[in-house]
Amino acid sequence: MLLLAALLGGGCFAGYEIVRYENALGDVRTLAIRGLENESYEPGVEAIVSDALVTEFMRRGALELVDDADAADLVIGGAVEDVQIQSRTFSSIQFALEYAVSIRLRLEVSRRDGTKIELDDRSLQETELYFASADVETMRKNREEAMRRVSVVLAGRVHDSLFERSVP
């Protein structure tokens, strides 16, 4: 039993190790997240994604969130560039059974001195399936929940990409 605990604690399985956020971004201690712009045709999606970003950074607790972008060490801003809704699966009589919602972001991350931090564009796009419904309100609710799930995934990716790279 002691051997198992030592192996698990040592992270020897598949190269896992404990993530330590402390000092991962050097002298960066505070973060401001500007409300995103909406360049898509989907109303309100910018608020969903902005809320997901704020929630993710608060949940992880590595940086202190501040309201004043001028006083922050790091600022995230940008836009929801595109939201696409496509039917994915169909019944035998050609009724859509599932739809897919895809969200693509364009984010700008900069330090207080104006240095830009590049994020991988591939990490700023995600797709999620949701069920179709004959009820318009149910269909709207399913689409909104899918957008929330996509937003949470994208927010996690943004957080992880900042902490997995060396920031100048």
Work out how many domains the chain is built from and give that number.
1
Torsion, Cα of 59, 62, 66, 71 (10° steps): -170
- The reported pLDDT for the residue numbered 92 is 83
- The reported pLDDT for the residue numbered 90 is 85
Domain presence at residue 15: no
Half-sphere exposure (Cβ direction) of 7: Cα atoms closer than 13 Å: 6
Domain presence at residue 33: yes
- The reported pLDDT for the residue numbered 26 is 73
Structural domain containing residue 98: 27-163
Interatomic CA distance for residues 64 and 140, integer angstroms? 35
- The reported pLDDT for the residue numbered 163 is 81
Return per-residue pLDDT of the chain as tens, 168 residues: 555 555 555 555 556 565 555 555 678 889 999 999 999 999 999 999 999 999 999 998 888 999 999 999 999 999 999 999 999 888 888 788 999 999 999 999 999 888 898 888 889 999 999 999 989 999 999 999 999 999 999 999 999 988 876 444
Domain presence at residue 14: no
Domain presence at residue 112: yes
Interatomic CA distance for residues 25 and 30, integer angstroms? 10
Residues for the chain: how many in total? 168
- The reported pLDDT for the residue numbered 91 is 82
Domain presence at residue 46: yes
Domain presence at residue 90: yes
Per DSSP, which regions of 2-149 are E strands? 30-33, 37-38, 64-65, 74-90, 96-111, 116-117, 125-131
Domain presence at residue 154: yes
Residue 139's CATH number: 3.30.160.150
Domain presence at residue 20: no
- The reported pLDDT for the residue numbered 159 is 93
- The reported pLDDT for the residue numbered 167 is 46
- The reported pLDDT for the residue numbered 15 is 60
Half-sphere exposure (Cβ direction) of 48: Cα atoms closer than 13 Å: 21
- The reported pLDDT for the residue numbered 136 is 93
